[in-house]
């Protein structure tokens, strides 16, 4: 988060607002005071001026209306006017003229040369003489440019109420404006001082307001990084103090919520990481936002590559769906990622994610590898089919011969024994098949427990091979490569005997006359390895691993002809693995087949227990 500059901060705004408020208040008060002072000074000045004028006018009216014919030796009008002016004129008058009805100056102060001269161009004086009207005007003095107030007052004869003269006075009022300027200057200085004081106060007030706000801002930035350990200071109980208390309470609640969320996130992350199934989450556009490790491994794409891609493209569903929302209606799909070399099937289950307004916000997909399930299902179907086929063949044969006997063949002394012999052989074949199936079923359900005992393997193997030497009718030799030493193993003698019987029987069945079977026993470091090699037709490489599957025959026609069930090697594999050993085969077509199996030595039986 960027740092807030001083010119963008609330502190400057508070200072400016306080300064403007104080400045406005001072200006309003100053303007009101100066206006009132100006009016008051003007009124006082004019009242004083009016009083002086009234005294002059009263005295001048007496002089102008005096009868001078009776006392011809008395003072003249000009002398009396001069005497009145000298007695009643003050410094307030900058200029004074007394004018008679003939517009002649009969008295003045200052410039005495004007006395006796007639004035011209003064229309205001003519108006005053003619209409008995006073006049007042403000003008700039042409000599010193001072503001001057001029009053023109008629001198009226009281008997006939007509003007006999005019008094014109000029009064300098510049002093009033000078006083106003001084007052204005005082207010200006007071304003500057008030601005300085308001700035100082604004800084203090702004600091008291913004300090807790700044602390809360810093704490908010710390909280945004996930650190809830610190709290802001509470400086009072006002609104800002209550805000700080609320902020600290919010910090505690966010800390608890963050801890809960983090705990749930770790749980979810642990669950997603340790799930055997893959999980893929998308946004509302179907683009992948989350994918766990199992999903990444199943699809064969890294998490970085998957994020942002569309799920329909990653799961190769372009030909099945157009819109990602269609996947929710689909429910689940089995997706085939198989190649020419390997079967690989993935099951995908889809569920949508909605917000509170039930708007589609994403998709959760759970994928799992169902290849083994499909293989098991196929093997189950094949197993049922093989069992049905294996049982149907002898039953069909038996049915045919029994029908023939029922139709009268039992009376034929040559055919009846042969038919009964075939029926008996097929019955024994079915019994062997059922017994093998029951044995496999018990092994699958762990019901056929091993009865293991300490056994010297060398004498056991010799006794089994001796039995084959005595009972075999084919011209097939058995070569023994068995060490002359004691080899102790922990085995179930009957089960191991069954394994060797199954392998030896197959070797004898598929070996040509004059062939040889090589039985070899080799002692290795932790185990013994037994190999049984024949000289038969051999098995193709792609079919070698399948001979241990149930009902699998390389040559089905010959196997049925020889009475095999196709379960011998499957049973042998279960027995060897039950002894913690391993069984496998190697073969080349035309060069025979070798079956190998291993058993742990006595010191390493049961997974290495000594």
pLDDT tens per residue across span 242-253: 888 888 888 888
Please say if the pLDDT value at position 5 is more than 60.
no
Mark whether 399 and 259 lie in a shared domain: no
Say whether both 409 and 382 belong to one domain: yes
Q: Residue 599: its pLDDT value, please?
A: 92
Residues 6+ apart with CB under 8 A from 88: 52, 55, 56, 59
Q: Are residues 94 and 168 in the same domain?
A: yes
Q: Is residue 58 part of a domain?
A: yes
Tell me: do 434 and 511 sit in the same domain. no
Query: How do strand 488-491 and strand 135-140 relate by DSSP bridges?
Result: unpaired
* Confidence label for 261 from pLDDT (cuts 50, 70 and 90): confident
Distance of alpha carbon 58 from alpha carbon 156, whole angstroms: 9
pLDDT of residue 349: 81
Mean pLDDT of the chain: 79
**Do both 529 and 424 map to the same domain?**
no
| DSSP category for residue 412 | -
Residue 519 lies in a domain: yes
Largest CA distance in the chain: 213
Which domain CATH number covers 405?
Answer: 1.10.287.130
One domain for residues 362 and 379? no
- Tell me if the pTM is above 0.75: no
Q: In this structure, are 381 and 496 located in the same domain?
A: no
Say if residue 334 is in the same domain as residue 389: no
pLDDT greater than 80 at residue 12: no
- 8 Å CB contact between 555 and 566: no
Cα dihedral 316, 318, 321, 327 in deg (nearest 10):
30
For residue 18, the Cα-to-chain-centroid distance in whole angstroms is 43
- If asked whether residues 288 and 398 sit together in one domain, one would say no
In a domain, 209, yes or no: no
553 pLDDT band (50/70/90 cuts)? low
| Whole-angstrom distance, CA of residue 282 vs CA of residue 288 | 4
Residues whose CB is less than 8 angstroms from the CB of residue 438 and which lie 6 or more positions away in sequence, other chains included: none
Q: In whole angstroms, what is the distance from residue 309 CA to residue 412 CA?
A: 81
Q: Work out the average pLDDT over 351-365.
A: 80
Counting the structural domains of the chain, the total is 5
Is the per-residue pLDDT at 560 higher than 50?
no
Residue-range definition of the domain harbouring residue 253: 232-274
* Same structural domain, 410 and 462: no
Q: Is 583 helix (H, G, I), strand (E, B) or coil?
A: strand
Q: Is residue 190 part of a domain?
A: no
């Amino acid at each position: 988060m960027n740092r807030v500059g001083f010119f963008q901060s609330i502190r400057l705004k508070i200072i400016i607002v306080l300064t403007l408020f104080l400045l406005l208040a001072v200006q309003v008060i100053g303007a009101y005071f100066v206006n009132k002072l100006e009016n008051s000074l003007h009124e006082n000045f004019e009242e004083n001026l009016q009083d002086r004028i009234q005294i002059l006018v009263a005295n001048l009216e007496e002089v102008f209306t005096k009868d001078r014919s009776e006392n011809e030796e008395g003072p003249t009008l000009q002398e009396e006017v001069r005497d009145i002016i000298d007695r009643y004129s003050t410094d307030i008058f900058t200029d004074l003229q007394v004018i008679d009805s003939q517009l002649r100056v009969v008295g003045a102060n200052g410039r005495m040369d004007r006395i006796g001269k007639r004035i011209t161009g003064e229309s205001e004086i003519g108006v005053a003489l003619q209409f008995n009207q006073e006049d007042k005007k403000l003008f700039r003095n042409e000599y010193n440019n001072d503001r001057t107030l001029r009053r023109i007052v008629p001198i009226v004869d009281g008997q006939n109420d007509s003007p006999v003269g005019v008094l014109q006075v000029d009064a300098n009022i510049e002093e009033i404006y000078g006083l106003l300027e001084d007052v204005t200057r005082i207010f200006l200085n007071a304003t500057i001082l008030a601005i300085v004081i308001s700035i100082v106060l604004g800084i203090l007030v702004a600091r008291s307001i913004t300090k807790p706000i700044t602390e809360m801002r810093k704490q908010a930035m710390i909280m945004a990084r996930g650190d809830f350990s610190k709290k802001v200071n509470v400086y009072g109980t006002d609104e800002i103090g209550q805000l700080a208390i609320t902020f600290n309470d919010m910090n505690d609640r966010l800390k608890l919520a963050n801890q809960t969320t983090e705990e749930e996130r770790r749980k979810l992350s642990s669950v997603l990481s340790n799930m055997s199934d893959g999980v893929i989450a998308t946004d509302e556009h179907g683009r992948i936002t989350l994918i766990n490790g199992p999903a990444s491994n199943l699809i064969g794409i890294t998490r970085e590559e998957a994020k942002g891609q569309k799920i329909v493209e990653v799961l190769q569903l372009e030909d099945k769906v157009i819109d990602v929302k269609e996947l929710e209606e689909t429910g689940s799909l089995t997706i085939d990622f198989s190649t020419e070399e390997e079967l690989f099937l993935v099951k995908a289950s889809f569920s949508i994610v909605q917000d509170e307004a039930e708007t589609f916000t994403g998709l959760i997909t759970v994928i799992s590898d169902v290849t083994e399930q499909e293989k098991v299902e196929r093997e189950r179907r094949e197993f049922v089919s093989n069992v049905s086929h294996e049982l149907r063949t002898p039953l069909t044969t038996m049915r045919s011969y029994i029908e023939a006997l029922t139709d009268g063949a039992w009376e034929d002394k040559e055919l009846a024994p042969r038919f009964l012999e075939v029926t008996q052989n097929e019955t024994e074949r079915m019994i062997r098949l059922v017994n093998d199936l029951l044995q496999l079923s018990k092994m699958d359900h762990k019901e056929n427990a091993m009865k293991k005992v300490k056994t010297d393997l060398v004498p056991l193997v010799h006794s089994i091979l001796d039995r084959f030497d005595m009972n075999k009718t084919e011209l097939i030799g058995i070569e023994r490569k068995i060490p002359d030493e004691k080899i102790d193993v922990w085995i179930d003698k009957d089960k191991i005997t069954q394994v060797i019987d199954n392998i030896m029987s197959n070797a004898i069945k598929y070996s040509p006359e004059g062939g040889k079977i090589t039985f070899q026993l080799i002692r290795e470091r932790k185990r013994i390895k037994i190999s049984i090699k024949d000289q038969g037709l051999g098995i193709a490489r792609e079919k070698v691993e399948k001979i241990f599957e149930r009902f699998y025959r390389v040559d089905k026609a010959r196997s049925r002809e020889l009475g095999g069930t196709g379960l011998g090697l499957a049973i042998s594999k279960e027995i060897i693995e039950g002894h913690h050993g391993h069984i496998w085969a190697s073969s080349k077509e035309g060069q025979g087949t070798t079956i190998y199996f291993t058993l742990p030595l006595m010191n390493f039986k049961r997974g290495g227990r000594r």
